[in-house]
Amino acid sequence: MSESSGTAAPDPEHVDLVRLAAWMDEQGLEQGPIRDATLLAGGTQNILLRFRRGARHFVLRRPPPHLRKNSNETMRREARVLAALAGSEVPHPALIAGCPETEVLGAAFYLMEPVDGFNPAQGLPDYHRASPERRHALGLSLVDAIAALGRVDYLAVGLEGFGRPEGYLERQVARWRSQLDGYTELEGYPGPDIPGLETVADWLEKNRPKDYAPGILHGDYHLANVMVKPDAPELAAIVDWELSTIGDPLLDLGWLLATWPEEGAPSAAAVGGGIQPWEGFPGPDELVARYREGSVRDLASLPWYEVLACYKLGIILEGTHARACAGRAPKATGDVLHATTVGLFQRALRRIGRS
């Protein structure tokens, strides 16, 4: 969400600036015309629009043009969790206002403060490229952020009912397997060709932790979903909160480990695999040690969370492959994400082997 991320002018069909300005008038959010409206590069699904009104800059986030059945509810949930995190130690985009109704822009949306930062998965600037010590500190700051998130009392910040913590771990394998099975409804998708699928699912069911302390989790935590300060080795914000819920925060740590470059193994499943230079970034053991410093959670079952992250993320990515088979997503994108899914399950099998 940095200034340099702009890509194009907005499509009025998806972001009607006249209707947006009228809604902002009702909210008392600056006055005058909307200027410098620019689409931001970022996620592949949702629309991000940066603009200026009066003396203030805003970033609008709304669902993609072709809504899915849960798109509007996802926007409402994102706005709610960002509001709840105000004043916390968790780096996040500050919420300005949310519009849960769909009448204004045809979908729910919200406005947030722009984040001065860059996404590390898209390349490191000279400041961070110049020093392995800075890259090391940056890697540790990713862990500090989710440790802080795990310390937030979700009830105290008004997130009661935001998720169903009871039975959260017990539901995971069946819930995501059901999602995978649902892809077969897409015409042209032949079904999952994922070696190790049943082995990983069986291991997760047999080795599930007995209990956990519920808290807020981001749900999709990796290097591509953070913004880094341009002049410091630390996070500016965690972004893309669409999978956030109340569950087991250790899954965020498992997710980070599952997507971290793995020494001596293929990097297809590593979000940071293309970051150069990688020298200086902490290894997995350092990430875990750093998390332990900022959390009282029991990490004895951490391999289980890493394997669950591989399982869950792999199934999510396979959904794009299934849609590509049905002609609803680019074939090249579907092929890449299917290869990533296969890589994640291979990684899960290696983690099981080390356990």
Instruction: Report pLDDT for 43.
Output: 52
Q: What is the pLDDT of residues 47-60, one digit of tens each?
A: 999 999 999 999 99
Instruction: Report pLDDT for 68.
Output: 81
Domain identity same for 96 and 143: no
The CATH number for 29's domain is: 3.30.200.20
Domain identity same for 320 and 192: yes
Instruction: Report pLDDT for 223.
Output: 94
Name the residue type at position 113.
E
Domain identity same for 73 and 132: no
Q: How far, in Å, are 262, 309, 337, 350 from residue 344 at the CA level?
A: 11, 9, 10, 10
Distance CA 310, CA 17 (A): 40
Residue 284: closest CA among 239, 230, 343, 350? 350
Distance CA 53, CA 171 (A): 45
Domain identity same for 313 and 329: yes
Domain identity same for 270 and 158: yes
Q: How confident is the model at residue 12 (pLDDT cuts 50, 70, 90)?
A: low
Rounded mean pLDDT of 151-173?
97
Last residue of a domain, one of 70, 86, 112: 112
Last residue of a domain, one of 112, 135, 162: 112
Rounded mean pLDDT of 40-47?
72
Q: Which of 65-69, 120-124, 150-154 has the highest average model confidence (pLDDT)?
A: 150-154
pLDDT over threshold 60, residue 164? yes
The encoded tokens of residue 132 equal: 């392995």
Q: What is the pLDDT of residues 98-149, one digit of tens each?
A: 999 999 999 999 999 999 999 998 899 999 999 999 999 999 999 999 999 9
Domain identity same for 52 and 69: yes
Q: Which residues, listed in sequence order, are joined to residue 60 by a DSSP beta bridge?
A: 49, 111
- Tell me, letter by letter, the H, E, C secondary structure of 88-133: CCCCCCCEEEEECCCCCCCCCEEEECCCCCECHHHCCCHHHHCCHH
User: Cα-atom radius of gyration of the chain, to the nearest Å?
Assistant: 20
Q: What is the pLDDT of residues 246-303, one digit of tens each?
A: 999 999 999 999 999 987 555 555 666 678 899 999 999 999 999 999 999 999 999 9
Q: How far, in Å, are 18, 59, 125, 154, 294 from residue 291 at the CA level?
A: 46, 31, 26, 19, 5
Please give the tally of structural domains in the chain.
2
pLDDT over threshold 50, residue 192? yes
pLDDT over threshold 90, residue 202? yes
Q: Is 88 left (phi over 0), alpha (psi -120 to 50) or beta?
A: beta
Domain identity same for 62 and 156: no
Instruction: Report pLDDT for 252.
Output: 98
Residue 166, domain extent: 120-354
Distance CA 273, CA 270 (A): 5
Distance CA 339, CA 321 (A): 9
Domain identity same for 9 and 150: no
Rounded mean pLDDT of 83-105?
97
Instruction: Report pLDDT for 2.
Output: 44
pLDDT over threshold 90, residue 327? yes
Q: How confident is the model at residue 1 (pLDDT cuts 50, 70, 90)?
A: very low
Q: How confident is the model at residue 355 (pLDDT cuts 50, 70, 90)?
A: confident
Q: Cis ω on the peptide bond leading into residue 277 (within 30° of 0)?
A: yes
What is the pLDDT of the chain when averaged over all its residues? 93
Domain identity same for 83 and 209: no
Last residue of a domain, one of 112, 146, 169: 112
Instruction: Report pLDDT for 270.
Output: 63
Instruction: Report pLDDT for 269.
Output: 57
Q: How confident is the model at residue 74 (pLDDT cuts 50, 70, 90)?
A: very high
- Sign of the CA dihedral with 309 first, then 250, 238, and 139 last: negative
Report how far apart the first and last C-alpha atoms of the chain are (Å, whole number).
Answer: 39
Instruction: Report pLDDT for 262.
Output: 82
Q: Report CA dihedral (163, 299, 147, 96) to the nearest 10 degrees.
A: -20
DSSP tag of 230? T
